[in-house]
Amino acid sequence: MTREEQREYMRAWRERHPNYYKDYGAKYRAENPDYYRNYRAAHPEYRASIIRAKQQRAIRQKTIKESLRCKSCGELDIAKLHFHHKNPREKERTIGQVWGHWSDEHLLKEIVKCEVLCLQCHFALHKRIGRQGITIDE
C-alpha cells in the first residue's frame, strides 16, 4: 500500500465509522471519570507551562503593535492604538480579544484586514462612515 492509498483507506474508514473517535472518548471518560483531575494533580507543571506559553505569545504579539502608528495623525502610544477593520464583513474578531490566544499566523491574517488608527481618529472615522461603513482608501 502506498502512502496515498493508505490515506485514502483511512479516509474511507472514517466515513464508514463517523462516530468512532467521539464514542471512544465519551466511553473512556465515562469509565474513568477522574482521569483528567488525576492527570492535572500528577502534572502540576503542565498547566503552568501552557499558561507561560500563552503569556509569552501575548508579549510577542504585542511587539507587533509597538512597531505601528496611527495612519491619520501618527500617534505612537500603543495604549491609544486601535485596529480598524476596513471592511466589517471580512471581520472575524476584534484584534484585542484574540491577542495571545490566536497563533501568530492567524493573527497576522486578521491584522492585514485592518488599518491602524488612534482612538480619536477611529471614533472620528466612524462618526463619518457609520458603524457598519466600509472604508475606502483615499
* Residue from 121, 138, 130, 133 nearest 83 by CA: 121
Crossing angle of the two packed helices 104-111 and 44-66, in degrees rounded to 10: 30
Interaction pattern, residues 84-123, with Zn ion; x per rule: CB under 5 A: ----------------------------------x--x--
CB of 100 to Zn ion, least distance (A): 25
- 69 binds Zn ion, rule: CB under 5 A: no
Name which of 84 and 102 has its Cβ closer to Zn ion.
Answer: 84
Residue 77 near residue 107, CB atoms below 8 Å: no
- 73 binds Zn ion, rule: CB under 5 A: yes
